[in-house]
Structure 1
Amino acid sequence: MPEEVLFKSESSQSRDEIASYLRNVAEKLEQGGSITLKAGSESVTMEPPARPTFEVKAEREGPVDGPGELSIEFELEWDEHSEGAAGGSDSLEIE
């Protein structure tokens, strides 16, 4: 299935700034509201359902025997035409 990027922003931020963004998203999720992403003249508003699929991924990109780039990715996904998705049964822990 082809992917259409609706919004993208990438910039160097302090850990405190990133935590603030994540807190804002968490508050919107708790309130059941929509989430609006804005950067410059670009913006997109999305309304996650009550039970989206939550994916967490830790990655290392680069050569096997050399330094690489590390990342942690958090993703919410849902079918555009449904109220939520059935998720896996594994229990996630973030410490």
Structure 2
Amino acid sequence: MPETVLFESERKETLAAVASYMRTVADKLESGDPVTLEAGGESVTLDPPETVEFEVKAEREGPADGAGELSLELEIEWDENADGESDTSLSIS
């Protein structure tokens, strides 16, 4: 299935700034309001359904015998024309 990037922004931020962005998204998701992303003249508004697919991934990229790059990825997905059901539990602490 082809992928179309609707919006992309990548830059260095403090953890406090990242937490603030995530709190804003969390508040929007909890209230059922659409989420609007804006940067440099680009903008996209998404309106996720009540139930979504939530993927959490921790990765390490780089050589096995040297320093690499660590990442924490949080992804929310949903079908444009369908509403899904939750099937597993997750704990983040």
Distance 1:63 1:29 in 2: 38
- 5+ residue gaps, structure 2, are none
The equivalent of 1:88 in structure 2 is 87
3-state SS of paired residue (2:64): coil
C-alpha RMSD over aligned residues = 1.0
- Residues 1:58 and 2:64 aligned together: no
The equivalent of 2:39 in structure 1 is 39
Distance 1:32 1:70 in 2: 32
How far is the alpha carbon of 1:87 from its aligned partner? 3.7
How far is the alpha carbon of 1:65 from its aligned partner? 1.6
Distance 2:55 2:48 in 1: 14
3-state SS of paired residue (1:10): coil
TM-score normalised per structure 1? 0.92
Matching residue's letter, 1:39: A
State the identity as a percent: 57
Distance 1:23 1:43 in 2: 19
Residues 41-94 of structure 1: CA deviation (Å, up to 9, x unaligned): 101000010001111110111112211110000111000111x223432x2111
- After superposing on structure 2, the runs of 4+ consecutive aligned residues of structure 1 that deviate more than 6 Å are none
Matching residue's letter, 1:88: D
3-state SS of paired residue (2:70): strand
Aligned pairs for 1:3-42 (under 5 A) are: 3-42=3-42
Distance 2:38 2:71 in 1: 22
